[in-house]
Amino acid sequence: MARIRANGVEIEYEVGGPRDGVPYLFINGFGSQMTSWPEEFYKALEAAGLRVIRFDNRDVGLSQKWHGILPDIRAAAIAARAGQKPDVPYALTDMAADAASLLDALGIDSAHISGASMGGMIAQLVALEHPQKARSLISIFSTTSDPSLPPSSPEAMAALTTPAPATDRDTVIAHSLKGRRAYASTAWPFDETRLGELIGRNYDRSFYPEGSTRHYAAIMASLPRTERLKSLKLPALVLHGTADTLIPVQAGRHTAQSIAGSEYKEIEGWGHDLPLPVIPTVAGTIVDFVKRVETARTAKAAAE
């Protein structure tokens, strides 16, 4: 892993896969580090020939922090809905600029832009606001943030926003495991041992719950993207699961419906997580999509 300055922010990142592989940028979600998803997911993409770029979003992991700034989340949401500028240190559009600038800093002209959950929201904004950087958009169990969509279940929202009762390692792991059950997949067993080890490694790498408060403020300070997504003119893939209680499946369907010509993959029993058994389906769908987009790009370039 390494650090680089992008969009004026110190960003921790990692690049894997073949040096001449197709560039694929992955953006993590709310409060999660680039090490939060199983390595098996990234390895599957790299084995298929993708050059995978992943990074810690600002305010999480080993990237730059905004210590001590605690925004009023409710006030930020009210201001955004009223068309006023929310009083927050940054919004999702700033995080999208980080992602686009990271590609510039690495000398990568464009990439397939992918993100999960909040990362999917950021990926959508990269495609909208930095279109020259996006070969395609891949939105994974994310949303347009349209107010008409069904909310998270109370249990899932509580799991996401309720802090651990203490900050020692064992308590944080137990609290996180309990919360993750609230939005876990139903098609496969909940692998508490593997998840506990993964949560522990991330705790050791960087336990920084304060940053999640500002991530949440960034989400609440950002407007829905429904109408803007209708203007997108690039290939898009949307993946979602029927068992997702944090961002219900209707949000995935709505995202796909909002992007003309997009492809939609719905996975039965998949929740807001990444169990090992679903990785071949998720990674395989992404790889197939990227290859088709690359084939079309090559054909278009040859015809010009």
For the chain, domains (ranges, CATH) are: 2-152+209-303 (3.40.50.1820)
Residue 85 has what pLDDT?
Answer: 87
Instruction: Give the CA dihedral 71, 73, 76, 81, nearest 10 degrees.
Output: 170
Name, in order, each residue with C-beta under 8 angstroms of 234's C-beta and a sequence gap of 6 or more. 127, 131, 134, 135, 136, 137
Convert the pLDDT of each residue in 204-242 to its tens digit. Answer: 999 999 999 999 999 999 999 999 999 999 999 999 999
| Series of mean pLDDT values for 10-residue runs along the chain (304 residues) | 96 97 98 97 98 98 96 89 90 98 98 98 98 98 97 95 96 97 98 98 97 95 95 97 98 98 98 98 98 95 87
Q: Has this prediction a pTM greater than 0.85? A: yes
Tokens of 280: 């071949």
* DSSP-assigned states of every residue in 141-201: S-----TTS----HHHHHHHHPPPSS-SHHHHHHHHHHHHGGG--SSS---HHHHHHHHHH
CA dist 278 and 239 (Å) reads: 12
Name, in order, each residue with C-beta under 8 angstroms of 122's C-beta and a sequence gap of 6 or more. 27, 57, 92, 95, 96, 99, 115
